Amino acid sequence: MGKPNIRIENWGRTDYKAALDRQLTTLNELRAGNQPDTLVFTEHNPVYTLGKRAGTANHLVADKKFLESNEIQIVETNRGGDITYHGPGQITGYLFIDLSKSRDLHQLLRKVEDLIIAVVSSYGLQCGRREGMTGVWIDSRKIAAIGMAARHWISFHGFALNVSTNLDHFQGIVPCGITDGTVTSLEKELGRKVTIQEVQERLSGEFEERFSVVEK
């Protein structure tokens, strides 16, 4: 019997800048053949991250007082997409996937959306995509953001799924540049407590099912 050639890690609570450096280290390890396709879980300290899309900085609306009172940092990053928020109660998942055969980052984005849709749907919630937009939605309420990049045809960055996130922190930005929708979380939609560990277990199961490659 072979074994699935994937790996799942949990970095716990991290500072975004330190996690970005760690992402690049993980990417290089995979490129060198020292690590299989990997999913990393983390929760970040409060931070607004700005992607490479033009005009992203215009979607930061928080003033200095709001940032300081909520202890929110601002970091420019090298992923695709617009501005988003990361913080406690939100599962940030980083995916390091070898794309050397497919060379199709967009296909990976759709696959990650499918993974998250399956997990959110497992809670009895109707969710899906919005035409022309990346991420996972419940009607016009965004529950998960996705922003990825690739280097040497290995993906990094990933998704952010709101579980028990402080949604007030999204008031300091126009999330992902979306002006005709809001953000939500699993706890808000379900009206009850949901643990990070429980959701991570469901995400892990879907990742194993969708991304594992059996070694022979």
> Where do the domains of the chain lie?
6-211
Nearest to 6 by CA among 161, 210, 153, 151: 210
Positions marked catalytic: 176
Q: For residue 36, what is the DSSP state?
A: -
CA–CA distance, 197 with 195 (Å, rounded to integer): 5
The answer to whether residue 125 scores a pLDDT higher than 90 is yes
> Residue 167: pLDDT band by 50, 70, 90 thresholds?
very high
User: What mean pLDDT is reported for the chain?
Assistant: 90
Nearest to 177 by CA among 113, 81, 104, 100: 81
Nearest to 83 by CA among 156, 175, 20: 175
Over range 158-183, report the average pLDDT: 86
Answer with the residue of higher pLDDT: 81 or 84. 84
**Domain 6-211: CATH class, spelled out:** alpha beta
Nearest to 17 by CA among 76, 99, 59, 81: 76
Strands 6-14 and 37-44, bridge-based pairing: parallel
> Residue 113: pLDDT band by 50, 70, 90 thresholds?
very high
Q: For residue 99, what is the DSSP state?
A: -
Answer with the residue of higher pLDDT: 150 or 180. 150
CA–CA distance, 56 with 25 (Å, rounded to integer): 27
- What pLDDT sits at residue 212? 82
Q: What is the pTM of this model?
A: 0.92
